[in-house]
Every structure is written in structure tokens, then in C-alpha cells.
Amino acid sequence: MSSSRGADPALWRSVQATLEDLIIPSLRPGYERDSARQLVGVARYVLANEAGGSESRDAILADALGSERSDHAELMERAADLLVGHVSDGTATAEVDVVRKQLIAALAEEIAEAAPLLETFSGHTPVEASEDAVEVPELGALTTWFESAFGQPVDLALSVMVGGHSRRMLNAKVGVGGQVEELIVRIEQGGMFGTEGTSEARVMKAIAEAGYPAPRVRWIETDESVLGQPFFVMDRVPGSPVIEDPAVIDTYVAKLHELHQVDPSVASEGLGPVPESGKAAISAMIDRWLGIYRDSVTVRIPLLEESAEWLRANLRPTGPVVLVHGDPGPGNFLHVDGDITALTDWELAHYGDAAEDWTYFGAIRARRMHDVATWRAIFAEHAGVSFSDEDWLAWEGFNQLKGACVNLTALRIFNDGVITTPNLLAIGTAVHLRFLNRLTEIVGTLR
């Protein structure tokens, strides 16, 4: 049957060419050009998937499983049950090795197909909060809300803060009673990373009241009718996230160590009871990450399930249960004249092992600043903490599991239309696959 409608690959090639040849050259460097580059990545990703071999991968996996051809979800279910069962009963079989080998080969192909998204992915480089007041959609609703909160008329100026992906951040200057209150509004974005603001705010409030440097939380709003999502309001803390003096990092490392010495029960209002043991804390967090990923997708991921089961059985606590920040490192703290004024971005805070924070910091978040060996030396010198090579690698694996799971929330949010920017697609596919690949490598090394 003939049709005047072009084939989808041709349409996407047209989008890619138009962006690259006509639109991007006309844009000045900045937000608009970055956005156009991300759209190029989307076009290239779609074209890579058009030429991809998902059907042939399923056929090969079905042969490895010794089964008739099934749909993709059923194949993944059977493979996941096989690999998890292998970890549980400890028996090695040729079938397990063949299936795992095929899944790893398929993962490599998926990473290659998603590479265009990763190449155009915009991370969350820390920036100073903008001082320029701009009209934002929340202005009217927040003006009314602040007037209710303060009990009198207010003059509100808002600016959007550029930063991470878990929350929409607004810098709010509230003129009230002849004075100006400098505040930050932190708005949820559809459960990004499987987190919610009420727990985060309660942890921050408790930590600040315990004398640790965290922004003071002023209000927690759970009524979604105000802005369409829950949010909380905190004081704007003086300081910069930009690091120019390396000594600031040394000071921050010592401050992170101090967090791990705080009685974790201070955060019980936000996190609930402290687990009875390190193993219990590990198991609880593995359950949490798995629950987040399973709520975000419709198809099980066998390599992810197998690695989680292996970590549950083999990961060792390195010390007592502590309050873990969950996302420590450059960009998530503020400083003035060498002093740390606040640790920020507490959405992933939980009870756990201090090794989780240190390995996330050194092996993932700040790997572009120094190699792992240098970070481990810095941690030993300025915090007095050290780990065996095996423990370091295993706890890095725990963080890779966390990343592989929580990044899938971005794909759910993107597919549901909550946030449709290309970055969300990149996080939920290319970034997720990068974490999963490293997790599989680590467990394969330690197994």
C-alpha cells in the first residue's frame, strides 16, 4: 500500500539534519544550543534503535534458555528467575553462564544504541543562584501561599536555580514587613529518583537542629494543589558550590566524616526507626532500590536482579549504622572563605554504612577530579577512614545498584509526560545502562 507519509527513519533524519545544519549554527552558546544538541541526540537515538537488533537478541536469549520464542517480558522474567535462583542456591550450571553471557552482550549493544543520548546529556554542574528575577509559572500561586504563611501581604521575586534533576529549585526573595527574606523553594518532580520532599525536609530540619550545617527548613507543604507537586521552603544559605581552592575539599571531607558521627536516631522523624544492624540496613536499602526500579518499568532486568541478590548475600558492613547523605561530593555543599556553610541535596539520605558515602564520592561523583587512589588517600588523611580493596569495590557496586535503579524513574517520568526534556530520557536510558554495566562488571569481578 502506498502512502504519502514518510518512513519514521526518514523523518528523524530530517529532524537531525535540520537541527545540525540550520538551527544549531544560528544559536549562541548556552541553554538554547544545549537544548538543540539534546534533540539531535534524541534523533540519533531513535535512528540507532530503528537499526538495532532487539528481536535478534530475544531470539538468541530464547535459545540460551532452551525455550520456544516468547515475548520480551516473558524472556526477561525467566532469565531473572534463573540468575537470582543461581545466586540463592549457589550451584553453577552451564545454562546460567550462557544466559548471563548473552545478557551481557545485549547490554553492550544497548549501551551503543543509547550512546547518542549520553553524548548530549547535560549534567548538573554547580552554578551560583541567579540574582535576576524572572517570571515563572509558580509566581502567582506562591505569592498567595507566602501571604498565607506570613499572615500578611508580600512582594515576591522568583528566579529559577539551575542544578540537579531531582527537584525544581526556585530562589525566592520575599519582601514582608519592610524586610526581605531570602528563601529557596524545593519542588518535587514526579518522584524523581524515587524520593519525596517531606522525608528530605524532616531529615534536614533534624540535622540542622543537631548543629550540623544543613539549610534550615521553614515550611513543608504536602498539598499538591498549590503547585501540582509537594514542596518545602528553606533558608537560602550563603556560600558557593564552586570549588577553586583544593583545601575546601579537604575541609568538606572532614565535615562529611562528622555527619557519620552524628547519632542517626536524630533523623527518625524523617526516616523511621534505625535498623538493628548493618546487614539489616543493607537489606532494607536493596529492597528500596529494587522497589523503585520495579515501579518504574514493566520488564524485569535480569542482570540488575542478579547483582542485587549477590550484594544482599555478600556485602559486608564496615562499621555501625550511620546517617548516610547518599549523594555527597562536589556540587552538593556550599562554602564561604574555606568554611562549609551547608551540605545540600539530602533527598537520598538514609540509614546505612559510611562506606556508601565514601565510595560514591570517590568512585562516582568526583571521579573526574581525581582518580580513586587519590581520593582514598585524601579520605584517609582528612577523615581517617580506609577500606580494603574488596570492601571498596563491593560498596561501589552498592552505589552502582542504587544508580541503576533510581535512574529508571526518569524514564517513567519522561514516558508519563511529567517532564519531557531530553535529559530525562538520557538519564533513564544511557545513564541507567552505564550504572548497570559497571555494576555487572563489579559483581563479576567479586563473584
State the average pLDDT over residues 334-358: 97
**Is the model's pLDDT at 288 over the cut of 50?**
yes
CA–CA separation, 58 and 74 (whole Å): 10
The CA distances from residue 225 to 229, 289, 437, in Å, are 7, 29, 40
Using a pLDDT cut of 70, give the percent of the chain over it: 94
CB 445 within 8 A of CB 140: no
Give the pLDDT confidence score for residue 54 in this predicted structure.
79
Give the pLDDT confidence score for residue 133 in this predicted structure.
47
**Is the model's pLDDT at 134 over the cut of 70?**
no
CA–CA separation, 288 and 306 (whole Å): 16
Give the pLDDT confidence score for residue 165 in this predicted structure.
79
Please, which residues bridge with residue 182 across strands? 173
Give the pLDDT confidence score for residue 212 in this predicted structure.
96
Give the pLDDT confidence score for residue 149 in this predicted structure.
97
**Can you tell me whether residue 18 is helix, strand or coil?**
helix
Of the segments 10-19, 71-80, 398-407, which one has the largest average pLDDT value? 398-407
Indicate the pTM of the whole model.
0.92
**Is the model's pLDDT at 369 over the cut of 60?**
yes
Tens of pLDDT, residues 245-287: 999 999 999 999 999 999 999 999 999 999 999 999 999 999 9
CB 409 within 8 A of CB 296: yes
**Is the model's pLDDT at 127 over the cut of 60?**
no
Q: Name 7's Cβ contacts closer than 8 Å, sequence gap at least 6.
A: none
Count the Cβ atoms, other than its own, within 10 Å of residue 21: 9
CA–CA separation, 266 and 258 (whole Å): 14
State the average pLDDT over residues 331-349: 96
Length of the chain: 447
DSSP 224: T
CB 265 within 8 A of CB 276: no
Give the pLDDT confidence score for residue 367 in this predicted structure.
93
Residue with cell string 549523594: 327
Count the Cβ atoms, other than its own, within 10 Å of residue 352: 25
Using a pLDDT cut of 90, give the percent of the chain over it: 76
CA–CA separation, 399 and 379 (whole Å): 18
Residue with cell string 514587613: 177
- Write out the three cell numbers for 4: 504519502
